[in-house]
DNA sequence: ACCTGAACACCGTTCAAGT
DNA sequence: ACCTGAACACCGTTCAAGT
């Protein structure tokens, strides 16, 4: 059912940036970034590949638009609970929710996220306000915020597969470790051997609390 | 000067995994992962593209081999200084040096690093030993190690470009902020406005110290 | 104004052939 | 055993053409 060339008659859905990005997001979320192809994207839209170029300059722009769109969903809930810690937790959980919703885009979100419009500014304001409210000096606010964002991006990346082990990877590590004499890597043997599978699982919450404790320590230190 | 088909005579350099990966690493380090093409790689080696397939099954294997090779350089120096903190710092700096040497591979190192042979085990042993020496229980060791690695990967990613601003990105952020009325994002205005350019720069050291302080706090808490 | 379609310069990889 | 070379099914993108 090839469409005719020319401007589509009324009644036909017009091709727009919005529709293109929506289709692209479906492609990426379902099959990964590698599946995002101008030709496949066009096919999903029922359109000639070149039609897309009327609305977006090139493929890079499609990917950038995707990150923009995903990041635009980012809202840090204003928390009723007292304490800057609760607000930092709210930020962290919101960010984690965002990147988990689009795991194949983690790299691009982590890499371009900040340059992605209003939502980034609003999120930054929320985080900075929480940290400034904790009593940190300006430089401390920036450092703590950077640290938190770095951790969040790193954790998201690790969730994808990897780090010093995660659901899948950790089992590889354990298997390799089991093949070697305990004397070769004694601490790893002892530490990992004494934990249950559940205890081995990465804990976002615990890592976040360690980080928050570090920020708390900044408050009493010189910094 | 096209080579003749067939096994090269003695005197000609034999194609090996080593030589292929070395050429690939040059390509990636100099021009990014996108420049790594089986055809370009072959050209760099003075060889037909298909010759590579005798030594590595496909392109994924080339990339995986690259990560392996890079990760194999990873050595955590044994530190004379006392204190687990010094050893954690040594680990962190060694990792940072590694990823900075091959910035275009950050994503792959962060994502595959752990599944990359001996070097990962040795590094893990060093980190676990430091943290266990601090007096953390097994679960605490794993959590703290995960947190540190997550941070290191996140920082490396941010170094590439991004996060809530870095050399380049932070200036974009400041420029956008400057265009808006101060009333819209008051905390960001105040915090960022009161810092010099030098103070705005990301500080690996400071972020690392906050994190170490968090681990120190674990020692006195329940955990 | 908006879309199509042929064409170009690339990709990774299979398969048959050379030495 | 090791390499070449043609071929195939893809890419992103330019440029001319249709309505």
- Cβ separation A210–B111 shorter than 8 A: no
pLDDT at A159: 85
- C14 C1' to B53 CA distance, Å: 11
What's the mean pLDDT in B68-97? 94
SS (H, E, C) chain B: CCCCCCCCCECECCCCHHHHHHHHHHHHHHHCHHHCCHHHHHHHHCCCHHHHHHCCCCHHHHHHHHHHHHHHCCCCCCCCCCCHHHHHHHHHHHHHHHHHHCHHHHHHHHHHHHHCCHHHHHHHHHHHHHHHHCCCCHHHHHHHHHHHHHHHHHHHHHHHCCCCCCHHHHHHHHHHHHHCCCCCCHHHHHHHHCCCHHHHCCCHHHHHHHHHHHHHHHHHCCC
Q: What is the mean pLDDT of chain A?
A: 89
pTM: 0.93
What's the mean pLDDT in B5-18? 72
Residue A171 or B104, more confident: B104
- C19 C1' to B10 CA distance, Å: 14
pLDDT at B162: 44
Percent of chain A with pLDDT over 90: 71
Per-residue pLDDT band at B73 (split at 50, 70, 90): confident
Per-residue pLDDT band at B21 (split at 50, 70, 90): very high
The answer to whether residue A7 scores a pLDDT higher than 80 is no
The answer to whether residue A9 scores a pLDDT higher than 70 is no
Q: pLDDT tens digit string along A179-205?
A: 999 899 999 999 999 998 888 887 999
pLDDT at B174: 82
- Nearest by CB to residue B150, choosing from A142, A143, A154, is A154
The answer to whether residue A10 scores a pLDDT higher than 80 is no
The answer to whether residue A165 scores a pLDDT higher than 60 is no
d(CA B67, CA B18) in angstroms, rounded, equals 13
- Cβ separation A163–B146 shorter than 8 A: yes
The answer to whether residue B91 scores a pLDDT higher than 50 is yes
pLDDT at B191: 95
What's the mean pLDDT in B113-123? 79
With tokens 């419009």, the residue in question is A117
- Measured over the CA atoms of residue B193, residue B195, residue B199 and residue B202, the dihedral's sign is negative
The answer to whether residue B3 scores a pLDDT higher than 90 is no
pLDDT at B81: 81
Please give the span between the terminal C-alpha atoms of chain B, in angstroms, as a whole number: 67
Q: Inter-axis angle of helices B138-160 and A204-220, to 10 degrees?
A: 80
pLDDT at B123: 93
Residues 6+ apart with CB under 8 A from A25: A66, A69, A70, A102
pLDDT at A88: 98
- Cβ separation B158–A143 shorter than 8 A: no
């Amino acid at each position: 059912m090839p469409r005719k060339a020319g401007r589509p008659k009324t009644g036909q859905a017009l091709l727009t940036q919005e529709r293109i990005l929506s289709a692209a997001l479906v492609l990426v979320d379902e099959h990964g970034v590698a599946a995002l192809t101008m030709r496949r994207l066009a096919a999903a839209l029922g359109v000639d590949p070149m039609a897309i170029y009327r609305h977006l300059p090139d493929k890079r722009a499609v990917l950038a638009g995707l990150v923009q769109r995903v990041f635009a969903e980012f809202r840090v809930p204003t928390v009723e609970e007292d304490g800057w810690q609760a607000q930092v937790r709210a930020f962290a959980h919101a960010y984690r929710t965002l990147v988990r919703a689009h795991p194949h885009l983690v790299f691009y979100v982590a890499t371009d996220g900040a340059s992605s419009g209003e939502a980034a500014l609003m999120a930054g304001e929320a985080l900075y306000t929480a940290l400034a409210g904790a009593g940190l000096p300006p430089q401390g606010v920036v450092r703590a915020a950077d640290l938190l964002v770095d951790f969040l991006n790193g954790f998201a990346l690790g969730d994808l597969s990897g780090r010093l082990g995660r659901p899948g990877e950790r089992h590889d590590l354990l298997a390799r470790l089991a093949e070697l004499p305990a004397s070769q890597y004694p601490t790893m043997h002892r530490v990992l051997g004494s934990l249950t599978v559940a205890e081995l699982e990465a804990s976002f919450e615990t890592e976040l609390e360690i980080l928050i404790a570090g920020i708390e320590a900044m408050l009493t230190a010189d910094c």
